Amino acid sequence: MQTVSQYPKIFRPKDDFSTVGKEKLTFYFDYVDPGSYLLDRLLDKVSVDRDHLALHPLEVCPPPKPPIDPTNPEWISYNTNIHQLARESGLDWHLPTSYPWTRKAHELSLHARDKGLEEFVHKEIFKAHFQQHLDIGRIDVLVAIASKSGLDPSETKATLDVDKYSEKIHLLSLEAIHKGFKRAPLLWAEANSLEGPANICELRKFLKSSGIDISNDPTSHPKS
């Protein structure tokens, strides 16, 4: 586990910028990673168009690895540093007490994608873990989220029970690793990538360098 200070802030520019601004922005994340949660909230804060944002699961501890140990000193340090970045951007939240596997949560997100409800479910899963401190590894908790989000609870439970999307999530993780993306959070555009947790200033800088429009940008409009 790397602390934020150890986590390299990497901008990887491409040589050819001829197509900058035409590609989707891809967000590699995990639902129990505080850096991912911070970055997700910052994307809202700068008003990135979510229609041009692709969500890509990248589990911190994929099974059969053991789940995160919240008493691990490195994890505590990581959380502390994430909170510092959050406060720099005007955000704050209380730490969850447990960090379950997220495979089922990502399965729910992919199920919601197929039903056209991915973004709403995505937000509700993050909210359940970081704000409500619910166990998002439990199918009953996820079914409740699905029902609240407009998905059929019976169909959702059946989908999660049979691991319908489990292999796809595994393959998506392998795809990320093949690209050299080994840990969340990470933002990728055709122009470059932002690896590791960031504050709002670093995010704005990355988005601008990638040609991504942000509507909530105080530097983009001259003062009257």
In this prediction, residue 52 has a pLDDT band, given cuts at 50, 70 and 90, of: confident
Cβ contact 196:9 at 8 Å = yes
Residue given tokens 């994929």 in the structure block: 62
pLDDT single digits (tens) 116-174: 999 999 999 999 999 999 999 999 999 999 999 999 999 999 999 999 999 999 999 99
The residue count of the chain comes to: 224
Asked if the model's pLDDT at residue 21 lies above 80, the reply is no
d(C-alpha 14, C-alpha 20), whole Å: 10
Query: Using 50, 70 and 90 to split pLDDT, how confident is the model at 92?
Result: confident
**Neighbouring-strand partners of residue 29:** 57
**Options 3.30.360.10, 3.40.50.1820, 3.40.30.10, 3.40.50.300; which CATH number does 10-209 get?**
3.40.30.10
* Orientation of helix 153-161 relative to helix 103-114, angle to 10°: 130
Q: pLDDT tens for residues 173-197?
A: 999 999 999 899 999 998 689 999 9
In which band, very low, low, confident or very high, does the pLDDT at 15 lie, cut at 50, 70 and 90?
A: very low
Please give the average per-residue pLDDT across 103-125, as a whole number. 98
Give the residue, 63 or 21, on which the prediction is more confident: 63
3 and 77 Cβ atoms separated by less than 8 Å = yes
**pLDDT value of position 222:** 37
Q: Where are the domains of the chain?
A: 10-209
DSSP states of 59-119: -SS-TTSPPP-TT-HHHHHHHHHHHHHHHHTT---PPPS-----HHHHHHHHHHHHTT-HH
Is the confidence at residue 98, as pLDDT, over 60?
yes
Residue 14 has pLDDT above 80, yes or no: no
